Structure 1
Amino acid sequence: MSVEFHRNGTRDAAKAVAAVGALTVLMACAPGGSDGESSTGGDTSGEDVSPAEPTDVATGLEVPWDYEFLPNGDALVTERDTTRIVRVTPEGDVSEVGTVDEAEPGGEGGLLGLALSPEFESDPHVYVYVTTGGDNRILRMPFEGGELGEPEVILDGIPSGSAHNGGRIAFGPDGMLYASTGDAQRSALAQDTGSLAGKILRLTPDGDVPDDNPFGNEVYSYGHRNVQGLAWDSDAQMFAVEFGADVDDEVNVIEPGGNYGWPEATGAPGDEEYIDAVVVWDPAEASPSGAAIAGGSLWVAALRGERLWRVPLTGDADDPVGEPVEHWRGEYGRLRHVEAVPDGDELWVSTSNHDGRGEPNEGDDRILGVPLR
């Protein structure tokens, strides 16, 4: 394997101080921050856990792209190419709760990310990231009586393409909505902080720009090629996984205002203008998509690499990760997403063998239940 892992990347000190500023204080004091966990967060205890033998939770799905758990333990799941959102119970029952007609599937686009309101029980809304005929956008829909209501656009105009649409959305420990966008195959946009392409965005739940965003717009970090995985640890530190081109798939530690290099630099070159990745893979071993934190590790679903990666977390800001460990190489095909089951020692991992690049097996696509030991 050609996996590399690195100490936290170099950066220009003056830029870092200016960008972090008040936002670092906000994150430290936010609800669910250092004392809690977000829906995509987990501990950094450094436990030496391993995944047990997976079992099928649900089968017969079509490119399940994202999912998040409802308060009762069921999950809402997006299907990229059908535009359906389905409800999956832990017992494996699958039922449709609605379709998102604004989504127009094609290439890597369609119905992509999904997030639930952070106060879902009192504010039952579902957020989705979709590719339309002219852009990528984020919609919000009420969820009442087990069904989706009419969508409301909270952000549009995100550049789209047949590939590199990003698409992961998640609420952070600060209660803000984060969205990963791709460069839409126009790489220069990633370095333009006035463009929404090639970024991680940060919004209020209503789609407004938070007052403390680093550039006065939706942009939180930039210089990204195609981020499709976001996760926070119990210290409110954000991690993102990103597709490289011919080289250098990445795990990055995200800082507000940070420049992650694309297309000028990739991986961990040690250039002071950019923030180095903390893990660098060859794309044949990864093509990292979904990410989650549980059991002291960052878990990363790999598409082309057809494996699940465990990246141990140290809790040390200067040396945040240990050496990655791979699991199930080639056993289940392309893996699209991984999510930690709330209040349990289990992951749900989904396949993506019907996405036009895989070789479907009987029962694909599926969601696997994976106990952690």
Structure 2
Amino acid sequence: MGALTVLSAAGCADFSDQDRAARAGTFSSVPDRGGMQQPPAPPPTSEEDEQTPPTGPCVDPNPAVIATCLATTSGVRPADPEGKTTYVAERTTGKIIISKRYGPQRVVATVPVDGGGDGGLIDFELSPTYLQDQLIYALISTGSDNRVVRIAPGDSIKPILTGIPKGATGNMGSISFASPTELRVATGNAGDPAAAANPGSLAGKLFTIDPNLDGPRPKVVASGLGSNVALCPDPTSGRLYVADSGPEGDRLQQVEPAGLRKLWSWADRPGITGCGVAEGIITVSMARAFRFDSLAAPTNASPSVGQPRTVDSKEDFGAVGRMTSFGPSLQIATINKSVPGAPAKSTNDIVSLFSPESPAENND
């Protein structure tokens, strides 16, 4: 398939070394196929740290804030079960940073990216066996394509799947592990809605690959995705949802064996940027509208989601972006540097804690 051809990189980032390494073979052993694991976190914040916060330009007095002074953010993942520490990606710099409240921050990986438009370090996932292999997977933009890569310690980068279409817009996608041998990849339409419906293109698709294989063959699960695509798996039920901006507006859909089922849509396009599921509540972030919308997750008894509950985000968070769940709460990465009209006090993108409020009961 033409979309899977390895392309020579051009523009801001040079990936020729990585592509040559890919052709030379794997650089590390295949990860253990055991159960999913929780990565190690930075040292815990002491009681003294909580009571006497430091001062400085990169300290936010909001007790929910975990990381400040970041470049434009993309993916975010909790670094401990309580969500007191976080891994967060900087979309334009290609850095993945681990941080806790009041610091310290540490760069755990850097991958060269083309951060033009809405591309760059689009999303990342830690290996399900991160404690053993220290591997990170990422969806990134180069000068010529979007691709999935594997990052080993020392920033050794191996392309896993190349040739995903790239455009001036519509590059934002999402990745999520279903199991150690199944990585789900959701791609934007690269600014071309026709490509999202084209079975010969990997633009605007949800597909799975085995990231342990050389040259994995994508298995397409769903087509027709738009821009700003975000996956939100439910850690409790195992259901998978996807939020994006489609031809007729922003929308939230459920991934089913037959394809995508629309749960809710917003014709006014409030600017979907992320979604997360915590304790039966699906929360969708709306950057342009500066708000969260929370919906009751569908169940077998009540397959609809009911009317969303809206919470304003502008005062506390500003423009909200990607999010991830941990227990009953969510970690939120803000994108105030990228959204016009974001409050002046929110000049630094941050990662915060947010507990969604229960929406109204489902309505059939």
Q: TM-score band, normalised by the shorter chain? A: 0.7 to 0.9
Name the residue aligned to 2:335: 352
Amino acid at match of 2:266: W
TM-aligned CA deviation for residue 137 of structure 1:
0.5
TM-aligned CA deviation for residue 364 of structure 1:
1.8
What is the rounded CA distance, in whole Å, between the counterparts of 1:235 and 1:141 in structure 2? 30
Structure 2 residue corresponding to 1:189, chosen from 190, 195, 204: 195
Instruction: Name segments (4+ residues, structure 1) moved above 4 Å.
Output: 36-39, 207-210
Q: Is residue 324 of structure 2 the alignment partner of residue 339 of structure 1? A: yes
Structure 2 residue corresponding to 1:309, chosen from 293, 298, 301: 293
Q: Is residue 109 of structure 2 the alignment partner of residue 98 of structure 1? A: yes
Structure having the larger proportion of residues in strand: 2
Name the residue aligned to 1:299: 283
Q: Secondary structure at the match of 1:85?
A: strand
Q: Is residue 246 of structure 2 the alignment partner of residue 237 of structure 1? A: no
Matching of residues 222-301 of structure 1 within 5 Å:
222-226=223-227, 228-233=229-234, 234-245=236-247, 247-256=248-257, 258=259, 275-285=260-270, 287-301=271-285
Please tell me whether the aligned partners of residues 174 and 185 of structure 2 are also in contact (alpha carbons under 8 angstroms): yes
**Once the two structures are aligned, what percentage of the paired residues are identical?**
29
The unaligned stretches of length 5 or more in structure 2 are: 1-33, 40-61, 358-364
The unaligned stretches of length 5 or more in structure 1 are: 1-30, 40-52, 211-215, 259-274
Please tell me whether the aligned partners of residues 38 and 171 of structure 1 are also in contact (alpha carbons under 8 angstroms): no
TM-aligned CA deviation for residue 320 of structure 1:
4.1
What is the rounded CA distance, in whole Å, between the counterparts of 1:152 and 1:256 in structure 2? 31
- The total of aligned residue pairs comes to 298
- Can you list the C-alpha shifts for 1:90-134, whole angstroms capped at 9, x where unaligned? 454322233211x11111111110101112222321011111100
Name the residue aligned to 2:121: 111
Name the residue aligned to 2:75: 66
| CA 358–134 in structure 1, closer or farther in 2 if over 3 Å, else same | farther
TM-score by length of 2: 0.73
Please tell me whether the aligned partners of residues 117 and 126 of structure 1 are also in contact (alpha carbons under 8 angstroms): yes
- Can you list the C-alpha shifts for 1:133-164, whole angstroms capped at 9, x where unaligned? 00000111124xxxx53011001100001110
TM-score by length of 1: 0.72
What is the rounded CA distance, in whole Å, between the counterparts of 2:152 and 2:311 in structure 1? 38
The higher-RCO structure (CA 8 Å, 6+ apart) is 1
Name the residue aligned to 1:365: 349
What is the rounded CA distance, in whole Å, between the counterparts of 2:37 and 2:222 in structure 1? 22
Farther-moved stretch of structure 1 (291-300 vs 218-227):
218-227
| CA 209–281 in structure 1, closer or farther in 2 if over 3 Å, else same | farther
RMSD: 3.0
Amino acid at match of 1:184: A
Amino acid at match of 2:278: A
What is the rounded CA distance, in whole Å, between the counterparts of 1:37 and 1:283 in structure 2? 40
Name the residue aligned to 2:10: none
| CA 204–256 in structure 1, closer or farther in 2 if over 3 Å, else same | farther
What is the rounded CA distance, in whole Å, between the counterparts of 1:159 and 1:314 in structure 2? 33
TM-aligned CA deviation for residue 206 of structure 1:
2.1
